[in-house]
Amino acid sequence: MAVGIFDSGLGGLTVLDAVSKRLPDVPFVYLGDNAHAPYGVRDAEDIFNLTTWSVERLWAEGCDLVILACNTASAAALRRMQESWIPKDKRVLGVFVPLIEALTERQWGDNSPPREVAVKHVALFATPATVRSRAFQRELAFRAVGVDVEAQACGGLVDAIEDGDMILADALVRSHVDALKRKMPDPDAAILGCTHYPLMEDIFRDALGDDVKVYSQATLVAESLADYLERHPQMVGSGTESKFLTTGDPKKVSGQATQFLRRQITFEKA
């Protein structure tokens, strides 16, 4: 009954934590491509090739449904994968969908014309590759009109978080928020468009101020997955046990992940 969760590194553990609490009876197989992280500085072809390899590895673990808990992979590779690569008996879902559902207050299956929504000025904080893809703006435009999105590429932030350098990460968050506010002084809402960023959510909130509603993905993804599995129970695969896989050094990644989630995590070689 396993479901796969893929991320380029450790950020997807924020999603894993949330979905495990929401769906305690479902085994999850987590794969971190730590050997090639971060994806945010790679080109689209590279991201596609790395992502498809990792998804196939999760299919081999009995995970017919895989969540791309990596915004960069969701932005740069998912559409191409869905159009020409994923077989009919498998599913790969990204993390933008629940976010845009929450922002526009409409379900993904709602194909009515785009309409005005409550928010007008949205700040998007994401990796350089996600910003370049404009995937968030494209998906939002299918559902909402009159929303101004200002994107800020947060270079260096994923590296600082993965390295556990929270002093540097704090400084980078505040610097990127300052840069965004120079372009959009009064955003209504802010999207933390990388699964690493919830670890810095308090800093983002402090830097943005109390008037900005901050959307973070982990809880939204967990609720969306629970709803999806209720509607598509056949997509829970044949795997029966939870495990953690990495393309990196399992001992090093286990130590980082344990610090990351503040509980013992043991990775195996993918």
Residue in 29, 190, 194, 229 annotated catalytic: 194
Q: Please tell me which residue in 37, 47, 69, 70 is annotated as part of the active site.
A: 70
194 is catalytic: yes
3-state secondary structure the chain: CCEEEEECCCCCHHHHHHHHHHCCCCCEEEEECHHHCCHHHCCHHHHHHHHHHHHHHHHHCCCCEEEECCHHHHHHCHHHHHHHCCCCCCEEECCHHHHHHHHHCCCCCCCCCCEECCCCEEEEEECHHHHHHCHHHHHHHCCEECCEEEEEECCCHHHHHHCCCHHHHHHHHHHHHHHHHHHCCCCCEEEECCCCHHHHHHHHHHHHCCCCEEECHHHHHHHHHHHHHHHCHHHCCCCCCCEEEECCCHHHHHHHHHHHHCCCCCCEEC
Active site residues: 70, 194
